Amino acid sequence: MAPADRTPDVPPALRPGHPLAGLGYSEPTRRRSLTQLADGTRTEGEAVVAEEVPVALAYNDRPYAVMMATPADLEDFAVGFTLTEEIVSSAGVIDRLDVTRHAQGVEVSLAIPEADAARLADRHRALIGRVGCGLCGVETIQDAMREPRALPAGPTIPVAALWRAERELPPLQVLNRETGSLHAAAWADASGAVGLVREDVGRHNALDKLLGALVRGGLDPAEGFVVVTSRASYELVQKAAVLGVRVLAAVSRPTGLAIRLAEASGLTLIALLRGRTANVYAHGERLADAAGAATPTERPS
């Protein structure tokens, strides 16, 4: 495992000696001074802002990817990323996970079977994974468009559970309540009770953190459903399906590719979940109204 004083593989602009280095990245949020302009007046004040830092992921001491992320729940993030990217087949083969915080970023080093580590040389991520990017550095179409996972039918989720989860989630977004700039991914049980929430400046990171937390906590993602406070992009559908999530609901709209991937994998895709309204784009048969009738699937125009 890398020694604690090793400089992580971070962008040159964030290495020691650069003006942005040495600012400290230990907290997910911090207070910053600002000047508020309103109707010809200037008022000095402060606001809480979300941090984003370079997080270097290394496997068996070999750098693999640098993702820009919120520096919280990084163990969950590392496990979730490792599983949803199919670097290993199960969390049980991860032998060791170390998080080392540096002034200019964070290094997460994992020990995995050498056969799995060797395969990474064929799809090394050469670029930085920015907060809005789920595929930065993927070099081939085959890596980006992995074969859809075929999900079993699974239990039915009451439509009322969706309304409950959407209602319960906002008060649990602790960091976003301070900053107004973070995405959240939440897991709710079949009744809609939200049991886990993870937040990050990147929607993909938030989902990786959530899925990692589920696995580390010994929870079965198929026993409930996932809600994300973002659009439903195909990367989110892909990551969810890899870990066996059968129902994914988003507060914003889906992309066409996300719908096609959900249809192909058997994942129930819901979008525009707001209040007591939502659109079902794929596999509505997993949803039931109060009378137990399946919900029809909306066909995109």
> Which residues are the active-site residues?
133
- List the one residue out of 161, 204, 169, 208 whose CA is nearest residue 186: 169
Q: What is the dihedral of CA 136, 207, 281, 262, to 10 degrees?
A: 60
**CA atoms of 30 and 47, how far apart (whole Å):** 8
With left for phi above 0 and alpha for psi between -120 and 50, is residue 183 left, alpha or beta? beta
Stretch (H or E) spanning 73: none
φ and ψ at residue 10, rounded to 5 degrees = -110, 165
Beta strand pairing status for 183-189 and 62-69?
Answer: unpaired
**CA atoms of 214 and 207, how far apart (whole Å):** 11
8 A C-beta contact, residue 6 and residue 107:
yes
Beta strand pairing status for 62-69 and 53-59?
Answer: antiparallel
**CA atoms of 30 and 49, how far apart (whole Å):** 6
**∠ CA 213-216-222, rounded to 5°:** 70
**CA atoms of 22 and 97, how far apart (whole Å):** 24
β-partners of residue 202 are: none
CA 267, 272, 273, 279 torsion-angle sign: negative
**CA atoms of 71 and 58, how far apart (whole Å):** 16
What the block records as the tokens of 80 is 């979730």
